[in-house]
Chains A and B, each alone.
Chain A
Amino acid sequence: MREESRFIDKLKTYIVYAGPTTFVFFTVIILPFLFGIYLTFTSYDGISNSHNLVGFANYIEAFKDTKFLASFLLTLKYVLYTVVFTNVIAFLFAYILTSGMKGQNFFRAGFFTPNLIGGIILGFIWQFIFSKLLVYIGNNFNIPIFSTSWLADPVRAFWTLVIVSVWQNSGYMMVIYIAGFMNVPKDLLEAANIDGANAWRRMVNVIIPMMIPSITICLFLTLQRGFMVYDVNLALTKGGPFKSTELISMYVYNQAFLSQKYGVGQAQAFVLFLVVALVSVIQVYFSKKMEVEA
């Protein structure tokens, strides 16, 4: 492409290629988002026709809220586990399923299936499995760990969330990793083979460096989904038992719509956004750095 030097030419090129996308993107996401931020400075309650500016009152109340902080820490823990497990499992699946084994299409389709169903319904199905099926198995085969419902115990209920999220997301990440594996040039691998590199060395020295872009995407997506998980949380544990598994999205949501403190909820959502943005920027920054070095 020739280089546009004049501003007007640049603008023309931009509008032709990216104009519609930019317009839709700003009107659907950025505009409501900014409007939402504006609402955090008001006494808007989600319903009334009029509202007053209240300054930082909502933010002050948001930070005074100790349960908000507790929920945040719990979410961090959840994000850590889901990101690690999802990516390790998805990577393993993708690795095995690109090694040319029999029935790999069948397995790929199978592992991806959880993504075919919406989160609310998945949560209901798993609730039934944890509270009925496993309890039945535990009682009939004398497996004490299953004899009472996992959803009734705060620690185990937390793990049900991790398990279901990993189960749901690993297939999605697997697809991205498979595309990454497919992009590792065959000649590079052959060259490594000829040099006598074993499977481990090939993985560390050839495959992983070539996979950095896929890893970046997957880490980013799992981080983002982890921080924002809502459907599964709602349908599986509802935050229970006794609010011990209320992750941040659900907390904010309840704050806005259940406690009907709309401004405070919106302010906390904005704080959540800032934190996630920070984490993501750091993650992408480091991944990109590795990409350059590799």
Chain B
Amino acid sequence: MKFKKTFTVFLTVLIMTLSLSGCSKSSTTNNSQTQTEKKQVKITVMNSKGEIQTQLEKMAKAFMNDNKDITVEVIPAPAGQSPFEKVSSLYSSGNAPTLSMLDPGDIVKFKDKAADLSSEKWINDSFDRSLDSAKVDGKVIGFPFAVEGYGFIYNKELLDKAYGGNFDASAVKTQKDLEEMFKKLEASGVGSIIVSPMDWSLGGHFLPLSYSTQSKSSDDVNKFIEDLKAGKVELAQNKQFKGLMATLDIMKKHNISKSSPLSGTYENGPEALATKKAAVWFMGNWAWPQIHELDAENNSYAFLPVPISNDAADYGNSEIPVGVTKYFILDKEQNSQEQQAAAKKFLEWIVYNQTGQDYLVNKANVIPAFKNITIESQDPLAKSIKKYMSKGKTLQFMVTLPSDHWSKNGASMQKFLDNKIDVNGLAKEIQEYWKNIK
């Protein structure tokens, strides 16, 4: 009996849902009818910078306000899924996004599917070298979306106090200066540095400093990478590598979480800065929204380079790595001509429209890769990066390393951070990694 009753309940629910779905179906057909009347074009944008998802959605809304005939839909790549994986599964499913935001190293894999953007207006307004990793076979297939940089983020208020007056960042140029700075901070009663143990930070950002500081010339850096692959480099004997790891040793010694160096998460960084448990954090400008949220009053944050030696003149001791870390590619395989045109319009709107620029710089906290955008960012970390750029004090941001470089070498870096291996052991593991790369 009871079973029959539940069955009737089930049936009722079924009928209900059927009628509901019927409703929604009819409403969508109505929509599409009105759409065809106005020649509506719908484009999708795959966002792989999850932290600006809301801002991008708002940006899309503002664009749609200016362009009533275009609908822009922003879909994020799930946390834990790489942009490459998300985009490739969307391609397999026949639902390729019109614009996909990719990491620079992945662009070349989509070279058959991406439209040629070489004749777009914004090409001429983009910064020198910002299109380097977007060029395949002489054609530009990527739109440089975000410039990012990293180094030691420091809280100037705390450093001013520790130095009893005005702290001069340009005075910190060597490992000795760095350690002295840590000691002064500690003497003033605050913690000095927090070292975040995430593999993407250690393996993807910290370790590559030892590659990019090899030489000012990017050809030499590339040659160094080739030599690594060929097994021709003895990292344990390499000056830059040894120096960088010596710096890490100093950081380890003063790390506020040294009792359990691997337990931290990304969130601990802004938290430690905001609660004044630490005054320095190794991270990039993408961290500003989180720092600002917890420490809203303080705009004194800026970047310091990571010194790799005790000679102030060495390359890398007064430079920070800066580069384009995200590109948009435009699909030409599964999107119609109209959709491609609409997407190009969207990109152009971002670069040349006042509202678009405002959203990009002020709402999404992105440092644009275009000379014509002159809006002054309110974000002190972005300002700091721009300062380094204008002085030409930048290093190459190693954006086209193999896709698992950060993960595999990040694991080795974690072992080093936790004192499970010494610098020779670390050098060996990293060399081993490179030997297996084809």
Asked if A and B touch directly (CB within 8 angstroms), the answer is yes
Residue pair B414, A241 in contact (C-beta under 8 Å): yes
Residue pair B420, A242 in contact (C-beta under 8 Å): yes
Residue pair B414, A240 in contact (C-beta under 8 Å): yes
Residue pair A148, B414 in contact (C-beta under 8 Å): no
Q: Which residues of A contact B262 (CB under 8 A)?
A: 149, 151-153, 240-242
Taking residues whose C-beta sits less than 8 angstroms from the other chain, chain B's interface range is: 20 to 34
Q: Which residues of A contact B199 (CB under 8 A)?
A: 238, 240
Tell me if A243 counts as interface (CB < 8 A to partner B): yes
Q: Which residues of B contact A148 (CB under 8 A)?
A: 259-260, 263
Return the contact of A45 from the options B109, B260, B418 (Cβ within 8 A). Answer: B109
Q: Which residues of A contact B112 (CB under 8 A)?
A: 48-49
Tell me if B349 counts as interface (CB < 8 A to partner A): no
Tell me if B167 counts as interface (CB < 8 A to partner A): no
Residue pair A258, B403 in contact (C-beta under 8 Å): yes
Q: Which residues of A contact B263 (CB under 8 A)?
A: 131, 135, 148-149, 151-152
Residue pair B261, A235 in contact (C-beta under 8 Å): no
For the complex, what is the distance from the CA of A243 to the CA of B82, rounded to whole Å?
Answer: 18
Tell me if B411 counts as interface (CB < 8 A to partner A): yes
Q: Which residues of A contact B85 (CB under 8 A)?
A: 46, 257
B193-224: which have CB < 8 Å to A? 197, 199
Q: Which residues of B contact A142 (CB under 8 A)?
A: none
Q: Name the CB-closest residue of A to B109.
A: A47
Tell me if B175 counts as interface (CB < 8 A to partner A): no
Q: Which residues of B contact A45 (CB under 8 A)?
A: 109
Task: Fill in one digit per residue for B414-430: 1 if any A CB lies within 8 Å of its CB, else 0.
Answer: 11001010000000000
Q: Name the CB-closest residue of B to A234.
A: B80
For the complex, what is the distance from the CA of A262 to the CA of B404, rounded to whole Å?
Answer: 13
Tell me if B412 counts as interface (CB < 8 A to partner A): yes
Q: Which residues of B contact A47 (CB under 8 A)?
A: 84, 87-88, 91-92, 109-110
B69-101: which have CB < 8 Å to A? 80-82, 84-85, 87-88, 91-92
Task: Fill in one digit per residue for A128-167: 1 if any B CB lies within 8 Å of its CB, else 0.
Answer: 0001000100000000000011011100000000000000
Residue pair B80, A120 in contact (C-beta under 8 Å): yes
What's the minimum C-beta distance from A226 to chain B, rounded to whole angstroms?
Answer: 21
Q: Which residues of B contact A241 (CB under 8 A)?
A: 197, 262, 411, 414, 418
Tell me if A287 counts as interface (CB < 8 A to partner B): no
What's the minimum C-beta distance from A127 to chain B, rounded to whole angstroms?
Answer: 8
What's the minimum C-beta distance from B335 to chain A, rounded to whole angstroms?
Answer: 16
Residue pair B411, A242 in contact (C-beta under 8 Å): yes
Residue pair B197, A257 in contact (C-beta under 8 Å): no
For the complex, what is the distance from the CA of A135 to the CA of B265, rounded to whole Å?
Answer: 14
Q: Which residues of B contact A152 (CB under 8 A)?
A: 197, 260-263, 418
What's the minimum C-beta distance from B94 to chain A, rounded to whole angstroms?
Answer: 13
What's the minimum C-beta distance from A135 to chain B, rounded to whole angstroms?
Answer: 7
Tell me if B407 counts as interface (CB < 8 A to partner A): yes
Residue pair B80, A260 in contact (C-beta under 8 Å): no
Tell me if A205 counts as interface (CB < 8 A to partner B): no
Residue pair A242, B404 in contact (C-beta under 8 Å): no
Task: Fill in one digit per residue for A50-86: 1 if any B CB lies within 8 Å of its CB, else 0.
Answer: 0000000000000000000000000000000000000
Jot down 28 A-B pairs with beta carbons below 8 A, ordered by A: A46-B88, A46-B92, A47-B84, A47-B87, A47-B88, A47-B109, A127-B265, A135-B263, A148-B260, A149-B260, A149-B262, A151-B262, A152-B262, A152-B418, A234-B80, A238-B199, A240-B199, A242-B411, A242-B418, A243-B411, A254-B404, A257-B81, A257-B82, A258-B403, A259-B404, A260-B84, A260-B109, A260-B403
List 18 additional A-B contacts (Cβ < 8 Å) besides A152-B418, A243-B408: A46-B92, A47-B84, A47-B109, A131-B265, A148-B263, A149-B260, A151-B262, A151-B263, A153-B262, A241-B197, A241-B414, A242-B411, A242-B415, A243-B411, A254-B404, A257-B82, A258-B404, A260-B84
